[in-house]
Amino acid sequence: MRIGFLTNALVEQSRRSGDHRFETLPQVADWAASHGFTDLECGPMLPLDRGAYEKVLSDGKISITALIYCRNYLSTDREEAAMHLTALKERISFAGALGIDKVVTSTGIDKRIEEGIYDRDPAVKDRANMIRRIPVRSLDQVAEIFLPLVEEAEKQNVRICFENCPLMGNIAISPVMWKVLFERLNSSRVGLAYDPSHLVWEMIDPYLPVSEFADRIFHVHGKDTRIDRARLVRTGILTDFSWWEYVIPGRGEIDWTKLLSELVRAGYVGTLSLEHEDKAYEGTTDAVEEGLLAGKQALEQAMAEAGKDRK
């Protein structure tokens, strides 16, 4: 397995800090390669600058393993939905033209109930409202918009990877939904960007699905979740999401040696892509760098331990 990272945190923090250190893909790639990363997962904060991508790919110091674009393609704002769908199509074509293997995305989800009335108060902005609907109600609409995209991905020799985060407009959030989604889209080019951190706070076993979906795990996000049990016993799971937070690998609930051992048994040899959303390593560009390197170290240690388990 290879260790990379999703570029969002580094690029966003650099912009916030105004230090201009990570404004371009070559800048990110140079830092990543110099610190021992092998892969990059490029987020939408980096422009689709063909020249920049071609330079990094031709330099050969680091691989670009995936592009990521996760939005709600079933937004009730039709112009917004169309804009996001166009951006996703653009990335599939861009990846195909440059030989980038994967595009990571969400599915979209309809935020209305069947009668066409909103199932939530539009004025309420807390993140819990993002999952207060039944995902399977959107299955027909997801299939309708993604079947042509899958056909295009097949032509472009690109794999579509559904990330399993419930917070972005997504129905690919559980093993039950993965199964029905894969049945409907029916393509070997469709699989998962497997992120165990979301499964933790959804109360889904993060280890068990690996063997079941071994042939569909195309990409893995390295992110963990910490649960504040003292808070949880007072809020329960529905009051708000203050009882959990995302952290880098090694600072949360997941046994990474166990997870990586399951991935090895499943035959996974792809990227472990660090997705940095750990508040303990935010605020400055240096802090984000420190978080990425700490996450890399934790994954390397878990990989070594997983390797011992195989001997």
Instruction: Examine the pLDDT at 277 and tell me if it is beyond 60.
Output: yes
Q: What is the pLDDT of residues 39-59, one digit of tens each?
A: 999 999 999 999 999 999 999
Residue 287 structure tokens: 């802090």
Instruction: Examine the pLDDT at 114 and tell me if it is beyond 90.
Output: no
Mean pLDDT, rounded, for 120-134:
51
Task: Say if residue 213 is exposed, middle or buried (CB neighbours under 10 Å; 0-12, 13-18, 19+).
Answer: middle
Instruction: Examine the pLDDT at 124 and tell me if it is beyond 70.
Output: no
pTM given for the model: 0.93
Instruction: Examine the pLDDT at 116 and tell me if it is beyond 70.
Output: no
Q: In this predicted structure, what is the pLDDT of residue 135? A: 87
Q: What is the pLDDT of residues 160-217, one digit of tens each?
A: 999 999 988 899 999 999 999 999 999 999 999 999 999 999 999 999 999 999 999 9
Q: In this predicted structure, what is the pLDDT of residue 307? A: 81
Average pLDDT, the chain: 93
Instruction: Examine the pLDDT at 137 and tell me if it is beyond 90.
Output: no
- Backbone region of residue 99 per phi and psi (left: phi > 0; alpha: psi in -120 to 50; beta: other values): left
Angle of CA points 10, 66, 63, to nearest 5°: 80
Mean pLDDT, rounded, for 65-91:
96
Domains of the chain and CATH, by start = 2-309 (3.20.20.150)
H/E run at residue 42: strand 39-42
